[in-house]
């Protein structure tokens, strides 16, 4: 007589919520506290006080930007970007002949740039070579995105602004105007605050690909594909659609009630991790309020009504404003067109992705989870 035993049923949390899949020293998101840190620094403090390049250096190297280190890293960026200039120009020209879409163009440009430069899998590179490639691709991203935007509009890329850094150059390319200090500071704060955010969908995608030993460009293209999904959180332009639909302050509450009654999601509210206010949203709100204006006044009223009505409609769930809502206002104030909001998000997140690619490349173990089969049982062979 034979006996059979059944394996215990393992329930997989939806979306792997709460499942720890790896260790990281890049960033930490503490949703219950509403806190975000990069390495050993508060991400919000960095966003309010640091230059883009300084936060970039901290994320990819783990080193605080001392005066000497800051100058060294800045030189490294400039040298690598200078060596890429001809290839970037050729790639941008090729891509814009094929598509006017900036996000699709960025994905294609990364792949073409990798092919032109003959980059090798991270598996075959040493740490210094991996870092050079990480800096090259993250540093080329704002240049590529800005150039794609200008060529899409029938304009040639502008020469870089002397000594202003990547953020000012990026604003110059996209808006066609030399940015003032307030716009540069506001966009810098946004870019730093969203550089990284734990194991979100796009970052996890980059790490999975990096774990196979693939090249840096392949990791970035995969991450960018994940970012294009509206549920990821990389689509801040959608947060402005609600304000446009409302139009006037007296229509705020009726419009929100109608959306909730129809079962539609309010973009810019709720977050997969934060159970209290999103610290990045609070930062963006402070920046938006400093500039003010009718759009900001409407946003303040919309936020208050939305949070109150969401609490009524979904009791027990803490649905606060997320970074998308106020970031959209800030980017609009900086003069960025709405179609460039997601590409701008990608400019920032490319830094975080490369930091995670570097970290994952140092681990020789491939990411290969298991799945629980729930399909029909195997058929017996017919007689």
Catalytic residues: 271, 324
Task: State whether residue 120 is helix, strand or coil.
Answer: coil
Sheet harboring 35-38: ordered strands across?
A: 27-30, 35-38, 41-42
The closest of 110, 60, 82, 107 to 354, measured between CA atoms, is 60
24: helix, coil or strand?
Answer: coil
Pairing status of strand 35-38 against strand 27-30: antiparallel
Length of the chain: 383
Residue 37: strand pairing partners: 28, 42
d(CA 86, CA 376) in angstroms, rounded, equals 56
| d(C-alpha 330, C-alpha 42), whole Å | 21
Tokens of 283: 């930062």
- Extract the tokens encoding 18: 């709460």
* Residue recorded with tokens 């080329």: 140
Label the pairing between strands 27-30 and 41-42.
unpaired
Name 36's bridge partners. Answer: 29
Half-sphere exposure of 166 (CA within 13 A, CB side): 27
| Contact status, residue 102 vs residue 152, Cβ threshold 8 Å | yes
């Amino acid at each position: 007589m034979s006996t059979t035993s059944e394996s215990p049923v393992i329930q997989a949390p939806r979306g792997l919520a709460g499942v720890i899949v790896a260790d990281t020293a890049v960033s930490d998101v503490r949703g219950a506290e509403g806190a975000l840190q990069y390495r050993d620094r508060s991400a919000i403090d960095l966003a309010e006080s640091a230059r883009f390049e300084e936060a970039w250096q901290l994320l990819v190297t783990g080193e605080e930007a001392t005066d000497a280190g800051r100058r060294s890293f800045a030189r490294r960026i400039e040298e690598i970007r200078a060596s890429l200039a001809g290839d970037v120009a050729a790639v941008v020209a090729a891509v814009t002949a094929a598509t006017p879409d900036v996000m699709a163009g960025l994905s294609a440009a990364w792949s073409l740039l990798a092919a032109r430069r003959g980059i090798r899998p991270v598996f075959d590179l040493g740490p210094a070579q991996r870092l050079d490639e990480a800096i090259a691709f993250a540093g080329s991203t704002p240049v590529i995105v800005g150039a794609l935007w200008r060529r899409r509009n029938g304009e040639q890329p502008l020469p870089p602004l002397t000594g202003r850094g990547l953020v000012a150059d990026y604003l110059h390319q996209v808006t066609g105007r030399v940015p003032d200090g307030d716009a540069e500071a506001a966009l810098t704060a946004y870019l730093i605050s969203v550089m990284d955010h734990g194991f979100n969908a796009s970052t996890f995608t980059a790490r999975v690909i990096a774990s196979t030993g693939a090249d840096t460009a392949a990791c970035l293209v995969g991450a960018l594909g994940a970012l294009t999904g509206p549920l990821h959180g990389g689509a801040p332009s959608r947060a402005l659609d609600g304000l446009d639909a409302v139009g006037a302050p007296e229509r705020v509450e009726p419009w929100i009630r109608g959306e909730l009654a129809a079962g539609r999601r309010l973009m810019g509210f709720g977050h997969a991790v934060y159970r209290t206010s999103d610290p990045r949203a609070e930062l963006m709100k402070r920046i938006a309020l400093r500039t003010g204006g009718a759009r900001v006044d409407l946003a303040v009223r919309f936020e208050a009504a939305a949070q109150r009505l969401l609490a009524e409609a979904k009791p027990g769930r803490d649905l606060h404003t997320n970074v998308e809502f106020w970031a959209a206002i800030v980017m609009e104030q900086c003069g960025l067109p709405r179609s460039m909001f997601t590409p701008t998000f990608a400019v920032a997140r490319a830094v975080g992705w490369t930091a995670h690619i570097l970290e994952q490349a140092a681990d020789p173990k491939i990411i290969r989870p298991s799945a629980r089969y729930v399909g029909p049982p195997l058929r017996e062979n017919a007689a």
